[in-house]
Amino acid sequence: MRAGAVAVLLSLAIWLGGAALRPPAAVPVGAPATEFSAERALAHLWIIAREPHPLGSAAHAAVRDYLLRQFTALGVEPQVQTATAVVTRWGPPYAAATVQNVVARLRGSGGGKALLLGGHYDSAPVSPGASDDGHSAAVLLETLRALKAGPPLARDVIFLLTDGEEAGLLGAAAFLEQHPWARDVGLALNFEARGTSGPAYLFETSRGNGALVREFAHAAPRPAATSLSDTAYQYLPNDTDLTLFKEAGAPGLNFAYIGDVVYYHTSLDNVAHLDPPSLQHEGDYALSLARHFGNLNLSALRGGDAVYWYQPPLGLIGYPAAWAFPVALLPVGLFAAIVWAGRRKRYLELRAAALALLGCLAGIATAAAAAALVWYGVRKLHPGYAFLAQGEPYNPAVYRTAFVALAVSVTSAVCFWLKKRYGMANATVAALLLWLALSLATSFALPGVSYLFVWPLLFVLLAVLWGFLRQDRELASPTFWLAAVPGVALLTPVIQLLFVGLTLRFAAVAALVVALLTVLLLPIAGVFRGWLPAGAALASLVCFAAGSFSNGFDREHPRPDSIWYGLDSDAGSAAWFSWDPQPDSWTGRYLGPHPARERLPEYQPFLSREALTAPAALIGMVPPVLELIREETGGGYRTLRLRMRSPRSAPVLFVFADPRLKILAAAVNSRPIEKSKVRLKPAQRALIRPGRRWALRYSALPPGGVELLLKVKAGTPAKLTAMDLSYGIPAQFPRPPDAMPAPFWPDATVVRKSFTF
């Protein structure tokens, strides 16, 4: 009877916490004109995401023209900002392109700083880009329509759809460095996606976000937000357009839905796979925040950082990050009172509690290690998962359930042993001490994360103290059951966010949090007696089996693969190569049964990863060209003015300098290439190792080419290699229907040639 009551109570807490993960229903076409309608926005998206439209393609130009027509029809005068942009933040090869941003402005009734709503309209090379990031264009158009249907705002609203985000944040750089409206921006709201479903999270803010978060809480419907994601994002190797706005000093908020990452950057990122409630959620944000911030003084949005999270049914809860450590001190007094009461009533023995603490740590570590080892085994059993984006299968939910059950099984088994060996009081106090240490540590080092430990701990501490004072040494009263509800409700969406955000590759992190929660609720685990570990283990096994049987490849769930053709004009040789983990039935037709595995510095000099490679027949293709337009010598330096172009009209051209050649200064289309602007996050430093040799990657290369200026020491021969890249390969074998181009390394043809000036 008690076990049933506890199960119902915990299920209610899980349901309550899960409410934070449910986006709103899509609003139909017939909704009032002042509302945002996902169905109205989808009408735009069917056109925008009809086919892949990467930077510089004909489809990209068609999308740009469609956006211009729609902004004009909505009563604003759009403009195309055409500019050459250079971004060097990740080091060589530096990114550059001539971009075409679409910009429009809705005038307000007053003055002051303007609100900017932004996204990007270029897609990845093989993706229709419905979610990433065509949906942002649809959101901005529908938001503008709804704003025009209501009363005018006090502030101007700038609508910015950047170009070249996928090629390196180039459109955002061009706007911030070269557009006169950039200096007017008082707040930037950016809309992104890293999947096709789920709630739209506020996943990143600018520093000093206290006032921003407070106003966001007042205005946003269903505000899915947590300072955990904002803190974590600072350590992840990801960037969006908002990165550059933040560096330029503009306050900003970044939104994205991230479910079903398996479709990200693939041919399946289409309207059919986009979940309309996710689109509605971002649209609700855009419209409600435009109306709210559009009537505020945007010069008064700076202040200290905040700790915050969305907790249904209470809404967005928050307080200044400066309060994090004082708040974390509250449990210290309660813990001291528990130790006093436990010692006074002879429930607590310090040596036993210390040994139980070691047992808690061992149990939590074992649960996380078990998750990591099991996923390693699953990937060995299903090597095809390695082909998928970030290793995430098409149906990850059943695997997530399996990992939760696995963590509960392992940790609850340890909890039962600790209770039997050291007693309930000692084992519980050990778990409380662990949580107290985590509360204090995070409140000091990571304030945005601290709420995850402080608030669940506070309620449990109160229940344990009440139990000790009432001489309930087993903590078996309903008081403790009720004390578990806040922690379960608070951590349920966090565990889901960790699974979705980090993907199953890092299932051990989510399993670690599940284990921590299980240890904290050790007395509740006792209610279920010995069948909890066995029952959870059985559930885990069933779910892993279900995941294995429901995650194969077929026409609806194709396997990503890729093949490249490389032609070395200098050596007169060619090769097939692939970045896939192993050949499949299609790539094997090019690579043969026994391809070599080696680095390809002639084609990817900055990539340490090995490729599968095999010799290929020579196919007649004209190599890229570097032409010397003019050379100037003086002051001990040579200045070379070159034109780089692709006679075969490849959209991307690389220029690599000889490793011994020192480039003193460089510019492309008169835009300086400033090496001093390299800025890497800590996680990026581990993944991105800029080469010592100078290199440039120019996207959307025009037919006439572009001008490159290089400054070197006089008397130094300038040895350069040009390599152009086009998407697709010389057609030979059709790709089978249960396969598709890989998202980040799609099929490509590269041709290289060396030059000396």
Q: What is the pLDDT of residue 680?
A: 72
Residue 352 one-letter amino acid: A
Split at pLDDT 50, 70, 90, the class of 683 is: low
Give the DSSP letter of residue 34.
T
Q: In the chain, what percentage of residues exceed pLDDT 70?
A: 98
In 10 A of CB 107, how many CB atoms?
A: 12
Please report the pLDDT score of residue 9 as a whole number: 87
DSSP secondary structure string, 586-649? Answer: TTHHHH-SS-EEE--TTT-TT--S-EEEEE------PPPEEEEEEEEEETTEEEEEEEEE-TT-
Question: Region 224-251: what's the mean pLDDT?
Answer: 94
Taking each helix axis as running N to C, give the angle between helix 424-445 and helix 324-344, from 0 to 180 degrees, rounded to the nearest 10: 160
pLDDT in tens, 691-728: 568 999 999 999 999 999 999 999 889 999 999 999 99
Average pLDDT over residues 552-557: 93
For the stretch 178-216, what's the b/e string if a residue is b when 16 or more beta carbons lie within 10 angstroms of its beta carbon?
ebebbebbbbbbbbbbbbbbbbbbbbbbbeebbbbbbbb
Kindly report which listed range (46-50, 342-346, 535-539) carries the lowest average pLDDT score. Answer: 342-346
State how far the alpha carbon of 669 is from the alpha carbons of 516, 644, 705, 706, in Å.
56, 11, 10, 6
111 burial via Cβ count (<10 Å: 0-12, 13-18, 19+): exposed
Q: How far is residue 478's CA from residue 6's CA, in Å, rounded to a whole number?
A: 8
Q: What residues pair up with 750 in beta bridges, in sequence order?
A: 566, 725
Q: Taking residues 549-575, what's their average pLDDT?
A: 95
Say whether pLDDT at 1 is over 80.
no
Residue 421 has pLDDT above 80, yes or no: yes
pLDDT at 689: 60
pLDDT over 70 (residue 741): yes
Which tokens in the block code for residue 321? 């990050």
List the structure tokens of 594.
Answer: 């026994």
pLDDT at site 688? 59
Residue 667 is predicted with a pLDDT of 97
For range 168-191, the mean pLDDT: 98
Tell me, what's the pLDDT at 7? Answer: 84
Alpha-carbon span 63 to 68, nearest angstrom: 9
Q: What mean pLDDT is predicted for residues 613-629?
A: 96
Lowest mean pLDDT among 501-505, 549-553, 681-685: 681-685
Residue position matching structure tokens 């180039």: 170
| Closest to 38 in 3D by CA, of 287, 283, 288 | 283
Contacts of residue 603, defined as CB under 8 A and 6 or more positions apart, other chains included, come to: 564, 566, 577, 723, 750, 752
Q: Supply the pLDDT for residue 473.
A: 76
pLDDT at site 76: 97
Q: What does the pLDDT average to over 226-251? A: 94
Mean pLDDT of 168-172: 98
29 CB neighbour count, 10 Å cutoff: 10
Sheet holding 625-634, edge to edge: 625-634, 637-645, 706-713, 665-668, 671-672
Could you give the CA distance from residue 13 to residue 312 in angstroms, rounded to a whole number? Answer: 10
Give the contacts of 660 (CB within 8 A, at least 6 positions apart).
Answer: 719
Q: Residues 6 or more apart from 230 whose CB is under 8 A from it?
A: 202, 203, 204, 205, 209, 448
Phi, psi torsion values for 157, nearest 5 degrees: -120, 120
Mean pLDDT of 432-459: 97
Domains of the chain listed by start with CATH number: 26-313 (3.40.630.10), 349-549 (no CATH), 561-757 (no CATH)
Rounded to whole angstroms, the Cα distance separating 504 from 732 reads 36
CB within 8 Å of 225: residues ≥ 6 apart: 201, 202, 213, 216, 308, 309, 310, 316
Q: What's the confidence (pLDDT) of residue 480?
A: 85
Instruction: Please tell me the predicted confidence (pLDDT) of residue 686.
Output: 59
Residue 478's pLDDT band, with cuts at 50, 70 and 90, is confident
CA distances from 24 to 113, 317, 491 (A): 31, 20, 21
Q: Which two tokens stand for residue 450?
A: 């601290």
The confidence score (pLDDT) of residue 606 equals: 84
Mean pLDDT of 41-52: 98
- Smallest CA-to-CA distance from 739 within 587, 550, 548, 597 is with 587
Q: Which residues, 6+ apart, have CB-to-CB distance to 162 below 8 Å? A: 99, 101, 118, 119, 120, 121, 122, 170, 171, 172, 174, 175, 241
* pLDDT single digits (tens) 51-101: 999 999 999 999 999 999 999 999 999 999 999 999 999 889 999 999 999
Q: What is the pTM of this model?
A: 0.95
Average pLDDT score over residue span 245-255: 96
pLDDT value at position 3? 78
Place of tokens 């051209």: 653
Mean pLDDT (the chain) is: 94
- How far apart are the C-alpha atoms of 454 and 188, rounded to whole Å? 32
Phi-psi region of 378 (alpha: psi -120 to 50; beta: other; left: phi over 0): alpha
Predicted confidence at residue 503, as pLDDT, reads: 95
Instruction: For residue 310, give every residue at least 6 positions away whose Cβ sits within 8 Å of its Cβ, in sequence order, or none.
Output: 20, 222, 223, 224, 225, 226, 316, 317, 493
Bridge partner list, 754: 721
Both structure tokens of 408? 């509960």
* pLDDT band per the 50, 70, 90 thresholds, residue 552: confident
pLDDT grade for 675, boundaries at 50, 70 and 90: confident
- pLDDT at position 685 is 64
Q: Please determine, for residue 209, whether its predicted confidence score (pLDDT) is greater than 80.
A: yes
The residue ranking higher by pLDDT, 289 or 474, is: 289
Rounded CA separation 388/123 (Å): 19
Which position has the token pair 């200064």?
A: 665
Which of these, 317, 309, 282, lies nearest to 131 by C-alpha position?
282
Mean per-residue pLDDT, 550-576: 95
Give backbone dihedrals phi and psi of 499, rounded to 5 degrees, phi first. -60, -45
pLDDT digits (tens, 9 = 90+) for 651-669: 999 999 999 999 999 999 9
Residue environment code for 601-622, b if the CB has 16+ CB neighbours within 10 A, otherwise e: ebbbbbeeeebbbbebeeeebe
Query: What does the pLDDT average to over 300-307?
Result: 91
Render pLDDT for 314-333 as a digit per residue (tens, 0 to 9): 999 999 999 999 999 999 99
Q: Is 90 exceeded by the pLDDT of residue 412?
A: yes
Q: What percent of the chain has pLDDT over 90?
A: 83
